[in-house]
Amino acid sequence: MKVIVCGAGQVGFHIARQLAAENHDVTVIDQSEDQIRQVGNTLDVQAMVGFASHPDVLERASTGDADMIIAVTQADEVNMVACQVAHSVFNVPTKIARVRHQSYLQPIWADLFSRDHLPIDVIISPEIEVARAISRRLQVPGAFDSISMADGKVRVIGVRCNDDCPVINTPLRQLTGIFPDLNIVVVGIIRDGRTIVPSAEDQMLPGDEVYFVADEEHVARAMVVFGHEETKARRVIIAGGGHIGQFLAQIILEDHPGVVAKIIESDKAQSQRAALANPSVTVLNGDALDPEILHEANVGVTEAIIAVTNDDETNILASLLAKRYGCQRAVTLINNMNYGPLITTLGVDAVVSPRAITVSSILQHVRRGRIRAVHTLQEGFGEIMEAEILDTSGLVGLSIRDADLPPGVLVGAIVHNDEVLIPRAGTRFRAKDRVVMFVSAEAVKDVEKMFAVRLEFF
């Protein structure tokens, strides 16, 4: 597949790196010579200096042969025009654009991005995606990551194994015998910065970060098995009243009934905008690092602080201060992921990376075949995929044991006729089944082929 990536910032760079690693034909365009030099020296892609929305630049990038354009420059307008030019001049089939300014995204203007106006197939709003990701973490107390799949029937959970975790030092093959009615499958382990695709003989150790797939109805029990019995947050402090903070407050009001949210915002004008956007939410104008402001927000009886200002250091310190003053959990937004391993050892419970969330959202629309959902786990580790088995698939009728799945693929759950099946070696694939699986980075292309529409289908 030939892909044009407009923008060589953090998101553009990491999308290009992921696609190049999968042997796609990738061209990156950016007007910054320094960023293009870094891309050219680091990645196996074509790197071009130029204005991404100019037709002559897109022509030099052979956009007429492209299957997809992904526009993620810093300017919404450049992203939108690049997609328009790719459609009108070069007839590119799929156009994805990152759009940040919320004026473009209001429902009243939804027709703006139709095929007859600005023909963009997928709009990615990082602020909305981040707010949704944080909301998912609130749904499962004690989890540092939570992804709902298969229309809410299956959930992928990331948990940290503490010293008192009941299942540490237990081979994974024994979990079924110890908990025969517990529908979970461990699909990934992160240990001391290393990523492990587990075998049946692997054990979980204290300090491990573990990803498992579970029947939604078994999530609460699974969290107890992993030593997490935290209660759901009823009082939440949001540090930062920008777009992410405002969207998160709105989502909490709509999707988390009974939860009381308060926003702390240092900028007075931004505080007023946040208060107008969510009249039911208390907005405090002040510094989230000020103990008096934190006490005014009743931090000592608050279950969770969510730090989403535009400054990493402020987010980290506000989270640690809040926990020192009695807050139970901290979710912290970090742009510089070099901080990630450090701050989790200091007591931050969950780290949120806007870049990783945005890249994951875009990859969902890049994947081919009947791939219904994608979530990236750690950079370069792999992806959680949800795929549908078509009638013409070679998998139909085969057991997992006989399916010859590529190395690095672990099936976590199969949804058959609305029933969640936790797979065993003899479990068979059937047409229209939805399969939730971990796929290592090296196996992504093989899995796409496995779930592709075959020609004999037509």
Write down the pTM of the prediction.
0.86
For residue 371, what pLDDT is reported?
82
For residue 301, what pLDDT is reported?
94
Encoded amino acid at 362, one letter: I
pLDDT above 70 for 455: no
For residue 366, what pLDDT is reported?
83
Encoded amino acid at 431, one letter: A
pLDDT above 80 for 214: yes
Decide if 414 contacts 435 (C-beta within 8 A).
yes
For residue 457, what pLDDT is reported?
39
The chain-wide mean pLDDT, for the chain, equals: 90
Distance in angstroms (rounded) separating the CA atoms of residues 169 and 292: 44
Encoded amino acid at 148, one letter: S
Choose among 64, 75, 80: nearest CA to 121. 80
Question: Which percentage of the chain shows pLDDT scores above 90?
Answer: 60
For residue 418, what pLDDT is reported?
87
**SS3 of 265, please?**
strand
Mean pLDDT, residues 336-355 taken together? 82
For residue 443, what pLDDT is reported?
87
For residue 458, what pLDDT is reported?
32
Choose among 311, 127, 329: nearest CA to 228. 329
Which stretch, 44-48, 98-102, 217-221, 355-359, has highest mean pLDDT? 44-48
Decide if 280 contacts 209 (C-beta within 8 A).
no
User: Would you list the DSSP string of 155-209?
Assistant: EEEEEE--TT-TTTT-BGGGHHHHSTT--EEEEEEEETTEEE---TT-B--TT-E
Encoded amino acid at 153, one letter: K
User: Would you list the DSSP string of 370-422?
Assistant: SEEEEEEETTTTEEEEEEE--TT-TTTT-BTTTS-PPTTEEEEEEEETTEEE-
**pLDDT digit string (tens) for 374-409?**
888 876 788 899 999 988 888 889 999 998 888 889
**SS3 of 10, please?**
helix
Mean pLDDT, residues 154-173 taken together? 91
For residue 369, what pLDDT is reported?
65
**CATH class of residue range 235-356:** alpha beta
> Domain spanning 365-457: which superfamily?
Regulator of K+ conductance, C-terminal domain (3.30.70.1450)
Distance in angstroms (rounded) separating the CA atoms of residues 420 and 408: 22
| CB within 8 Å of 165: residues ≥ 6 apart | 204, 206, 226, 227
**pLDDT digit string (tens) for 117-132?**
888 999 999 999 999 9
Distance in angstroms (rounded) separating the CA atoms of residues 203 and 194: 14
**pLDDT digit string (tens) for 225-238?**
999 988 889 999 99
**Contacts of 143-146 spanning 24+ positions with Cβ under 8 A:** 143/223, 143/228, 143/350, 144/209, 144/344, 144/349, 144/350, 144/351, 145/211, 145/350, 145/377
For residue 107, what pLDDT is reported?
79
For residue 99, what pLDDT is reported?
93
- Domain 2-124 fold is Rossmann fold (3.40.50)
Domain with CATH 3.40.50.720 in the chain: 2-124, 235-356
Across the strands, what pairs with 410? 438
For residue 148, report the phi and psi dihedrals to the nearest 5 degrees: -90, 135
Domain with CATH 3.30.70.1450 in the chain: 365-457
Decide if 284 contacts 259 (C-beta within 8 A).
no
**pLDDT digit string (tens) for 77-111?**
999 999 999 999 999 999 999 999 888 888 788 78
Decide if 219 contacts 158 (C-beta within 8 A).
no
